[in-house]
């Protein structure tokens, strides 16, 4: 079945690097996503990676994809207190009656940044 | 663009009452999603629509829950009768695929959520 798993909590000190891990199930998923949820708000797309890539870098963010192990990670360099949030990875759900925009979200990882 | 709009932002009701949550998607988006978020169960997809038609309602917990999308700019999620275990934050999201192919790139835009408390 479709299941995306993440560790629930990560605590880091300001200035350190954070690494949030995710395992997914659908090897046919063409895109994989990271969403960020700040307190009291909805989710926002943070970054994504196409499945034929191993790595994608975007300023302080680095996404690593290991397709063999179905493992996705998000590294945040020089973590700031403003990065404190819940981070969700997501893959596409199985097509239902044709095309789909359904995403399967992970359990979310709460990142706490200590000053 | 105002983004996805949800109302009310907070709702407190008593067990047994009917609750209606509302959502206005981003103009031009043809997919609309309803999610529920709780500490225990995380983020759950309840139902989603494509061009106002329900596509997958397998996440709707039980018959007390119903969702409608009478037109492209409005959707409701109704709970009747409500129970304390329905207390959660309910999110609406919308998207518009760049290509018609399954699993093509898509970004879902989330509303701010409705925090529902059933006493």
Chunk chain B into consecutive blocks of 10 residues (it has 119) and report each block's average pLDDT, rounded to whole numbers: 92 97 95 94 92 92 94 97 97 79 74 97
Q: Which residue has the higher pLDDT, A4 or B36?
A: B36
Q: Measured between CB atoms, which of B56, B112, B113 is closest to A102?
A: B56
The residues pairing with B48 across neighbouring beta strands, listed in sequence order, are: B33, B56
CA A21 to chain centre: 7
Residues A43-47 have a mean pLDDT of 95
Buried b (16+ CB within 10 A) or exposed e, A47-60: bbbeeeeeeeeeee
Residues A40-68 have a mean pLDDT of 93
Residue A102 with chain B: CB contacts under 8 Å: 33, 45, 48, 56
- Across chain A, mean pLDDT equals 89
Query: Is B108 within 8 Å of A44 when comparing Cβ atoms?
Result: no
Closest by CA position to A108, among listed A16, A31, A37:
A37
User: Which pLDDT belongs to residue A97?
Assistant: 41
Nearest Cα residue in chain A from B45? A104
Rounded to whole angstroms, the Cα distance separating B3 from B111 reads 7
The shortest C-alpha distance from A97 to chain B (Å) reads: 8
Buried b (16+ CB within 10 A) or exposed e, A9-26: ebebeeeeebebbbbbeb
A99 CB within 8 Å of a chain B CB: yes
Q: Which residue has the higher pLDDT, A7 or B20?
A: B20
User: Which pLDDT belongs to residue A30?
Assistant: 77
* pLDDT bracket for residue A98 (50, 70, 90): very low
CA A112 to chain centre: 16
Closest by CA position to B32, among listed B102, B105, B108:
B108
A101 CB within 8 Å of a chain B CB: yes
Query: Is A97 within 8 Å of B48 when comparing Cβ atoms?
Result: no
Place of tokens 């209606």: B20
Residues A89-112 have a mean pLDDT of 77
Nearest Cα residue in chain A from B48? A102
* pLDDT bracket for residue A94 (50, 70, 90): low
A17 CB within 8 Å of a chain B CB: no
Query: Is B102 within 8 Å of A100 when comparing Cβ atoms?
Result: yes
Are the C-beta atoms of residues A71 and A63 closer than 8 Å to each other? no
Residue B31 with chain A: CB contacts under 8 Å: 101
Query: Is B110 within 8 Å of A44 when comparing Cβ atoms?
Result: yes
User: Which pLDDT belongs to residue B1?
Assistant: 67
Q: What is the 3-state secondary structure (H, E, C) of B1-27?
A: CCCCEEECCEEEECCCCCEEEEEECCC
């Amino acid at each position: 079945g479709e299941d995306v798993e993440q560790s629930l909590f990560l605590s880091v000190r300001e200035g350190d690097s954070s690494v949030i891990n995710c395992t997914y199930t659908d090897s046919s998923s063409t895109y994989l996503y990271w969403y960020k949820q700040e307190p009291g708000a909805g989710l926002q797309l943070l970054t994504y990676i196409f499945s034929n890539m191993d790595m994608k870098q975007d300023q302080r963010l680095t996404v690593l994809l290991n397709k063999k192990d179905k493992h996705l990670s998000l590294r945040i360099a020089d973590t700031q207190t403003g990065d404190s949030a819940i981070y969700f990875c997501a893959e596409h759900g199985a097509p239902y009656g044709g095309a789909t925009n359904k995403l399967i979200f992970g359990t979310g990882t709460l990142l706490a940044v200590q000053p | 663009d105002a983004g996805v709009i949800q109302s009310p932002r907070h709702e407190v009701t008593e067990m047994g009452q009917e609750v209606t949550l509302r959502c206005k998607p981003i103009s031009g988006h043809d997919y609309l999603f309803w999610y529920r978020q709780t500490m225990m169960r995380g983020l759950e997809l309840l139902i989603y629509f494509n061009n106002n038609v329900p596509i997958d309602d397998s996440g709707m917990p039980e018959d007390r829950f119903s969702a409608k999308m009478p037109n492209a700019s409005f959707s409701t999620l109704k709970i009747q009768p409500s129970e304390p275990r329905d207390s959660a934050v309910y999110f609406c999201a919308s998207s518009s695929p760049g290509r018609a192919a399954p699993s093509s790139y898509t970004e879902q835009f989330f509303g701010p959520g409705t925090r529902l408390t059933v006493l």
